[in-house]
Amino acid sequence: MLELMRSLHKRTQSLEEQVFSMFDHFDREDLKDHTAAVVTAAKEIATRFDLNHDKLVTMAYFHDLGRLIPLDRMVIFCESRGYDVSSEEARVPGMLHQKASAAIARDVFDYRDKQSLEGIMIHTTLKAGASLYAKALFVADKLTWDETEHEFIREMRSAANESLEAAIRIYLDDVHKNRHEMAIYHPWTHQAYIDYC
């Protein structure tokens, strides 16, 4: 899979063109649309909180590349790239897409910014002690969700005007309240809840 991705990677293109051509190759218009929305949210957050625009936007482009890995190969893929897989992640391998995304950014795009890779690796679950850029990507990702499916998103959007932490608390509080209804309550998310709430 990585070899195929490397063959699709054309360094002469812009980052957007490189990432979107991969999504096109795998016929994932949904990922293309979602990533474009997260990039837009990341730009707004970078401006609002005076963050490095290029760094956060790069993280946004990379954040869901791991969704290109088939679910039945996700555990092996992540382990082969040096990531530990928890028992919870093995049960719900879709959760591993965040680790797979960091691996693809590192191993296909040769992206080496450790703080950014860490942010990509936790953009779905978050975790305690996350960096400012990890929090910004986490919020940018969630703000693109459909309000009709996730009622807390409107409140989260409003809170994000105040601070990233305020928006994060709304999300984590909702997830914690509904943890018994979820397929997985990731240990990192629980640690983040303890840390922020």
- Tens-binned pLDDT, residue by residue, of the chain (197 aa): 667 676 666 677 899 999 999 999 999 999 999 999 999 999 999 999 999 999 999 999 999 999 999 999 999 999 999 999 999 999 999 999 999 999 999 999 999 999 999 999 999 999 999 999 999 999 999 999 987 777 889 999 999 999 999 999 999 999 999 999 999 999 999 999 999 98
- The string of pLDDT tens digits covering residues 19-43 is 999 999 999 999 999 999 999 999 9
Query: Are residues 98 and 123 in contact, defined by beta-carbon separation less than 8 angstroms?
Result: yes
Record the pTM.
Answer: 0.94
Q: How confident is the model at residue 83, as a pLDDT?
A: 97
**Residue 97 contacts residue 67 (beta carbons within 8 Å):** yes
Phi-psi region of 50 (alpha: psi -120 to 50; beta: other; left: phi over 0): left
Alpha helices of the chain — where are they, by DSSP H? 2-8, 15-25, 29-48, 53-62, 74-80, 87-91, 97-107, 114-121, 132-142, 152-160, 164-177, 187-196
Tokens of 133: 């850029």
pLDDT score, position 12? 72
DSSP 94: G
Tell me which DSSP letter residue 181 carries. G
